[in-house]
Amino acid sequence: AQTVTQSQPEMSVQEAETVTLSCTYDTSENNYYLFWYKQPPSRQMILVIRQEAYKQQNATENRFSVNFQKAAKSFSLKISDSQLGDTAMYFCAFHDYKLSFGAGTTVTVRA
């Protein structure tokens, strides 16, 4: 069975600082995809970043980057230069034959 674990229910960060969200997953598959989704208080969930398991290079999207450690089955998200608009719940998701989500981490950016 697939499981995705986000061990940090809540995190708070000062504006302009950096925050890192952790995610671990469990799978016996070798080829799969990993995603971070963001759900702002308005509730529409959007994709932040994705990573293919066969790529060693960590994905980056502007201020968002991941640290993908395949052997450790770890997929953390780093938000640099945090902005107030980054306040949201962040979900880690894993996809081989279907998409499975973690329980989410609520990130609050303080002014």
Partner 1 sequence: ETGVTQTPRHLVMGMTNKKSLKCEQHLGHNAMYWYKQSAKKPLELMFVYSLEERVENNSVPSRFSPECPNSSHLFLHLHTLQPEDSALYLCASSQDSAGAYNEQFFGPGTRLTVL
Residues forming contacts to partner 1 in the complex (CB under 8 A) are 4, 9, 31-33, 35, 37, 42-47, 50, 52, 91, 95-104
Closest distance of CB 76 from partner 1, Å: 18
Nearer to partner 1 (CB atom), residue 41 or residue 85: 41
Nearer to partner 1 (CB atom), residue 9 or residue 12: 9
How many CB atoms lie under 10 A from the CB of residue 41? 8
Tokens of 43: 């509730």
Q: 36 with 48: CB under 8 angstroms?
A: yes
Closest distance of CB 51 from partner 1, Å: 11
User: What DSSP designation does 71 have?
Assistant: T
Nearer to partner 1 (CB atom), residue 85 or residue 97: 97
Closest distance of CB 14 from partner 1, Å: 25
Distance CA 13, CA 86 (A): 10
Tokens of 32: 């799969």
